[in-house]
Amino acid sequence: MMEQYKIVEIQDLGNKDYKDTWDYQEDLFKQILDIKIKNRREDAGLRTPNYLLFVEHPHVYTLGKSGDMNNLLLDESQLQEKGAKFYKINRGGDITYHGPGQIVGYPILDLENFFTDIHKYLRLLEEMIIRTLAEYDIVATRSKGETGVWLDVGTPFARKICAMGVRASRWVTMHGFAFNINADLGYFDNIIPCGINDKAVTSLNVELGKQKVDENEVKEKLIAHFLDLFEAEIIKKAKTF
């Protein structure tokens, strides 16, 4: 096995269309897979890169490969009225919403550079969010059998603040997490989020009683916890495409 390469390039894509970003993820994903295939066939000894993309999407609903279309409560004309798009995609999980005021993170990692355990990978992503919320004096936890990060689990007031859904092939990951910071929660009324109809959704600004939370500050906290949990180093790079 190649020596582990725990350098992660962080790219902040700004506000980008979902499909364009998905295509970009697929390009990076394929580049890593191609290097791994070359290494195995030719013993090339090439290092595989790792990326963490931050992005904010215009209003969009996405349905995972195991999702139920009935969890989208809008038809095509209603989507257009709300200025939202809809895509069926190749991650795990059911339906979710992305939009302004949400930090979406896409780690595109070769897990062989870190560890080969998808369960651990998801738990570390959750822990990154949990630790970030703790810096705002918010106690967040996991909900058994439900991926993501939650508040007040086990009470009638349980609510999700961060959704997660990933894809992995040959230990290379894509897709990731959607962390509500200043999100318009009304858009969640148009779906049954993640197929769970008995729990609410929340956003950091709502929990803090603030009109707006500094999203760049949150990103910096996320990066710090990501590096600690994955024992990684970073290269920061602004990227547009």
Q: Is 34 annotated as a binding residue?
A: no
Write the DSSP string, 50-64.
EEEEEEEPSSEEEE-
Q: Is 128 annotated as a binding residue?
A: no
Q: Is 178 annotated as a binding residue?
A: yes
Single-letter amino acid code for the residue at 223 = I
- Residues facing residue 201 across a β-bridge: 160
Distances (CA, A) of 64 to 11, 137, 139, 194, 219: 24, 32, 28, 9, 25
Closest listed residue to residue 159, CA positions, set 204, 200, 208, 194: 200
Q: First and final CA of the chain: distance in angstroms?
A: 33
Q: Is 93 annotated as a binding residue?
A: yes
Q: Is 95 annotated as a binding residue?
A: yes
Q: Is 94 annotated as a binding residue?
A: yes
For strands 60-63 and 85-88, give the pairing. parallel
Task: Read off φ and ψ for residue 160, nearest 5 degrees.
Answer: -95, 135
Q: Is 174 annotated as a binding residue?
A: no
Q: Which helix (H) or strand (E) holds 180?
A: strand 172-180
Residues with active-site annotation: 194
Sign of CA dihedral 71, 13, 220, 99: negative
Closest listed residue to residue 220, CA positions, set 157, 120, 96, 135: 135
Q: Is 29 annotated as a binding residue?
A: no
Half-sphere exposure of residue 22: CA atoms within 13 angstroms, side-chain side: 15
Q: Is 168 annotated as a binding residue?
A: no
Q: Is 14 annotated as a binding residue?
A: no
Binding-site entries for substrate = 91-98, 163-165, 176-178
Please enumerate, by residue number, every residue annotated as part of a binding site: 91-98, 163-165, 176-178
